[in-house]
C-alpha cells in the first residue's frame, strides 16, 4: 500500500517515520526546503534514548498528485481549508483520505469533498518536532480511526499491516470517537492556556477544579453526553497522568502561535448558536483565547 502524508509537523514526521517501516510513504511538506532536508537527512525519530532514521521520499505539496492508496492529512485544523483547495485542484479524485485534526471544526469541510472515501482519526501520541526532519516521540499512545464516509477496507489494511509498535485502533462511531477527545481538549486546553498552568494544577487547585467542573457541565449539556461522570473522570485522570505537562494550547499561546481554539471551542460555540443554547463559559474562554492570539499573549 502506498501512503501519502500531508504536513510535516510533529504528527506528519511521526507517522511518516513509523509507517515507512512497512509502507511506501511519501511525505508532502509546505516548503521545498523542508522536503530537501528530509530527503537529505531522512527523518530522525527520537524515543527515550533511542534514535532511528527513516528514509522517506519527501516532496513539496505543490507536487502532490493524489495517487496514493491512502492519504493521511496531519496539518492543524486551521490549515485544512488550504489542503482542501489542494485536493480540489488535483486532476484525479484521491481514493482514500484520513484526517487527523483535533476538535470537530473540520467535519464541515470534509462534507464538501465528493467522490472519495473519508476517514477521521484521533491521535493520542505525544510528539515534538525538534527541527525540519527530527521528531521526538515523547508520549506513547494510540491512534483511533473511524470511517466518516465509505467502507473500512483501507483502514483495516492499514491497521493489519501497520507496525505493531505504532498501534492504530478501529472505532465504529467517528462522532463518538471525536467527541470523546473534544470533551477533554475543550476543558484542559483552554483553562491551562488562559491560566498559564500545567495540566495537574487544574485538579490540585480546588478553585481551578470547580471551574473545570463548570465548564465541563456546560459542554456536557450542549453535547447531550450520556455518561457525564465517565467523561469527567477521564479529564481528571488525564490531568493526573499528565500533571507536569503543558497543554498544546498553552504552548501555542506561550510561543505566540495560532491555537486550535476554533476547532475546539469555536466548534462548540457555533453548535450552541445553531441550537439557540446559551454557553457563557465556552463563549468567554473562546473570546479570551481569540484575544490572546490577537494580542500575542498580552502586552506585558
Residues contributing to the site for a second copy (CB under 8 A): 194-198, 201, 205-208, 210-211, 214-215, 218, 246, 280-281, 283-284, 287-288, 290-292, 294-295, 298-300
Query: Which set of grid coordinates corresponds to residue 210?
Result: 470547580
**H/E stretch holding 116:** none
Who contacts 134 (Cβ-Cβ below 8 Å, separation ≥6)? Answer: 13, 43, 44, 46
**198 counts as catalytic:** no
Who contacts 241 (Cβ-Cβ below 8 Å, separation ≥6)? Answer: none
Q: What is the DSSP letter of 265?
A: I
Start-to-end C-alpha separation, the chain: 52
Please name which of 8, 3, 133 lies closest in space to residue 76, comparing C-alpha atoms.
8
Cβ-based nearer residue to a second copy, 163 or 196:
196
10 Å CB burial of residue 95 (0-12, 13-18, 19+) is middle
Cβ-based nearer residue to a second copy, 157 or 243:
243
Cβ-based nearer residue to a second copy, 87 or 212:
212
Minimum distance, C-beta of residue 1 to a second copy, in the bound complex (Å): 44
Residue 79: count other Cβ atoms within 10 Å of its Cβ: 17
Catalytic residue among 181, 271, 277, 290: 181
Minimum distance, C-beta of residue 106 to a second copy, in the bound complex (Å): 22
Residue 26: count other Cβ atoms within 10 Å of its Cβ: 22
Helices (H), the chain: 10-19, 32-41, 80-89, 107-110, 153-161, 174-195, 201-204, 206-222, 228-241, 248-254, 261, 267-274, 280-295
Who contacts 271 (Cβ-Cβ below 8 Å, separation ≥6)? Answer: 222
Minimum distance, C-beta of residue 202 to a second copy, in the bound complex (Å): 9
Minimum distance, C-beta of residue 198 to a second copy, in the bound complex (Å): 6
CA distance 154 to 152: 6
Is residue 175 within 8 Å of residue 211, measured between CB atoms? no
Cβ-based nearer residue to a second copy, 182 or 202:
202
Minimum distance, C-beta of residue 4 to a second copy, in the bound complex (Å): 37
Cβ-based nearer residue to a second copy, 198 or 271:
198
Cβ-based nearer residue to a second copy, 42 or 190:
190
The catalytic residues are 181
Amino acid at each position: 500500500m502506498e501512503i501519502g502524508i500531508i504536513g510535516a509537523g510533529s504528527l506528519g514526521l511521526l507517522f511518516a517515520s513509523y509507517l515507512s517501516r512497512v509502507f511506501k510513504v511519501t511525505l508532502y511538506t509546505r516548503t521545498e526546503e523542508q522536503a530537501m532536508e528530509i530527503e537529505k537527512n531522512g527523518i530522525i525519530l527520537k524515543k527515550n534514548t533511542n534514535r532511528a532514521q527513516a528514509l522517506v521520499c519527501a516532496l513539496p505539496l505543490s507536487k502532490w498528485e493524489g495517487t496514493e492508496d491512502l492519504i493521511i492529512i496531519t496539518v492543524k485544523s486551521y490549515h485544512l481549508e488550504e489542503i482542501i483547495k489542494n485536493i480540489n485542484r488535483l486532476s484525479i479524485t484521491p481514493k482514500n483520505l484520513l484526517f487527523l485534526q483535533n476538535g470537530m471544526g473540520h467535519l464541515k469541510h470534509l462534507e464538501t469533498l465528493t467522490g472519495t472515501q473519508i476517514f477521521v482519526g484521533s491521535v493520542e501520541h505525544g510528539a515534538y518536532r525538534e527541527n525540519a526532519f527530527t521528531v521526538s516521540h515523547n508520549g506513547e499512545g494510540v491512534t483511533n480511526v473511524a470511517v466518516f464516509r465509505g467502507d473500512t477496507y483501507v483502514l483495516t489494511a492499514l491497521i493489519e499491516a501497520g507496525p505493531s509498535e505504532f498501534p492504530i485502533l478501529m472505532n465504529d462511531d467517528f462522532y463518538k470517537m471525536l467527541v470523546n477527545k473534544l470533551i477533554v481538549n475543550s476543558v484542559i486546553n483552554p483553562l491551562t492556556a488562559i491560566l498559564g498552568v500545567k495540566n495537574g494544577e487544574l485538579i490540585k487547585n480546588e478553585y481551578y477544579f470547580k471551574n473545570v467542573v463548570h465548564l465541563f457541565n456546560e459542554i456536557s449539556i450542549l453535547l447531550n453526553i450520556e455518561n457525564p461522570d465517565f467523561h469527567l473522570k477521564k479529564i481528571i485522570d488525564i490531568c493526573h497522568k499528565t500533571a507536569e505537562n503543558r497543554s498544546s494550547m498553552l504552548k501555542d499561546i506561550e510561543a505566540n502561535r495560532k491555537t486550535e481554539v476554533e476547532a475546539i471551542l469555536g466548534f462548540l460555540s457555533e453548535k450552541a448558536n445553531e441550537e439557540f443554547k446559551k454557553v457563557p463559559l465556552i463563549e468567554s474562554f473562546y473570546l479570551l483565547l481569540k484575544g490572546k492570539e490577537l494580542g500575542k499573549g498580552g502586552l506585558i
